[in-house]
Amino acid sequence: MLQQLEDLYKNALDEIGAITEKEALQAWETKYIGRKGKVTLLVRAVGQLPREERAEFGKRANAVKDELTAAYTRREELIRQRELAKSLEEGEIDVTLPGRPIPVGGLHPANQTLREIYAIWADMGFQVFRTREVEDDETNFELLNIPQHHPARDLWDTFHTTTPGVILRTHTSPGQIHAMRHFAPGPIRVILPGMCFRYEQISARKEIQFNQVEGLAVGTHIRLSDLKGTITAFAHRMFGADRKVRFRGSYFPFTEPSLEVDVECILCNGKGCSVCKGTGWLEIAGCGMVHPTVLRNGGYDPATHSGFAFGMGPERITMLKHGITDIRYFWGNDLRFLEQF
Ligand code: DAH
């Protein structure tokens, strides 16, 4: 039996020396030193030996088993090392490759334009004044000289809440009332940026939500020429110092007189293209002198005070600057659009 053990030992060592694969090593372990392995079974058979041979055999058997177990552990480590070296060589892991970039967000294109607008108006002394998006009908319409049933209400399709008289603001103009009541009787130079909501059938040019930037200046000697000069200065900073700017007569219930502002088309430089529909001009804002009724509603005496106001759409300005053809991209949450800015 001792000879049998020595033979097994020799065979096992010979075999393991040739093993290069994990699976073959596993099979070797099962064959020799596993629970039903040949060496294991032989060690268990010690009881069949004559008593006087048992001690010697047992000692040798344990030594053989220990050595084979050690040989197994060494081989296992060797195979692991070889596999690692091989996979490095084959390029499965290339530790010299640069890491994967972590995706970073960016400012929404509308916010980029808003910030540009804020900076320009800030340089002219206008501070940002924020007011509520959920408004009452009175401030959104009545106090701006748009009474119930007035046809001018048709200009603003409105989202109503379940609370009567509480609506989503259809424009930033109600902010004029809040600002006047906050600053009266002192002078005002503010811009009122923020989201507006209209219950409109949406199309490439219309959305149910969009930003506006309202502006308001109130003081004792403010004239139409101040409005024109200030808006022109803004348009030159925003669209280029050489851009022509023109004012057209218009109508808004809360201004008198009312005007609309056009700049020379920034895409075709006034020659006429599809964006300006061949006119050479792009409309960028509505504006006017604050209506005496609105001044009074804000707490100012129109006999001593006057003011101008304007309203512009940053998404529309962004569309003009980048040649974006559909306003619905802005709030469509599509990264393919947003990542371009
Ligand atoms: N509130 C107007 C709108 O939503 C825009 C506007 C026009 C604002 C003239 C003004 C203004 O302050 O003077 O269409």
Instruction: Check pocket membership of 314 for ligand 1, CB cut-off 6 A.
Output: no
Together in a domain, 79 and 208: no
Q: Do residues 287 and 231 lie in contact, with contact meaning Cβ atoms separated by under 8 Å?
A: yes
> What pLDDT score was predicted for residue 92?
67
Q: How far is CA 252 from the centre of its chain?
A: 36
Instruction: Give the distance (Å) from ligand 1 centre to CA of residue 121.
Output: 17
CA of 212 to the centre of ligand 1 (A): 9
Is there a single domain that holds both residue 193 and residue 321?
yes
- Please report whether residue 251 resides in a domain: yes
The CATH number of residue 169's host domain is 3.30.930.10
Could you report the per-residue pLDDT of 127-156, keeping only the tens digit for each?
A: 999 999 999 999 999 999 999 988 888 888
Give the whole-angstrom CA distance, residue 341 versus residue 334: 12
The answer as to whether 184 is a domain residue is yes
Please check whether residues 178 and 74 belong to one and the same domain: no
- Are residues 85 and 124 located together in one domain of the fold? no
Instruction: Give 210 Cα–ligand 1 centroid separation in angstroms.
Output: 14
Cβ of 179 closer than 6 Å to ligand 1, yes or no, is no
Strand positions, DSSP E, the chain: 127-128, 134-136, 166-168, 188-197, 209-219, 245-250, 255-264, 281-290, 306-312
**Residues 6+ positions from 267 with CB-CB distance below 8 Å:** 273, 275, 276, 320, 323
Residue from 175, 142, 251, 159 nearest 207 by CA: 159
Position 103 in a domain = no
Same domain, 245 and 116: yes
Reduced to 3 states (helix: H, G, I; strand: E, B; else coil), residue 147 is coil
**Sign of the dihedral through C-alpha 58, 64, 66, 72:** negative
Measured in residues, the chain has a length of: 341
Structural domain boundaries, residue 247: 109-338
Residues 76 and 130 grouped into a single domain: no
Which of 121, 167, 180, 252 to probe ligand 1 with, by most ligand atoms within 8 A of CB?
252
Residue 245 phi, psi (nearest 5)? -125, 135
> Among the listed ranges 79-83, 190-194, 250-254, which one has the minimum average pLDDT value?
79-83
Q: What is the three-class DSSP state of 203?
A: strand
Q: Which residue type sits at 235?
A: A
* pTM of full prediction above 0.75: no
| 102 in any annotated domain | no
For residue range 271-306, list pLDDT tens digits in order: 998 878 899 999 999 999 999 999 999 999 999 999
> Whose Cα sits closest to atom 3 in ligand 1?
171
Asked whether residue 139 falls in the same domain as residue 243, the answer is: yes
Closest-lying ligand 1 atom to the alpha carbon of residue 196: 4
Q: How many domains are there within the chain?
A: 2
- For 22, the token pair is 């994990």
Whose CA is closest to 171, among 149, 151, 204, 144? 144
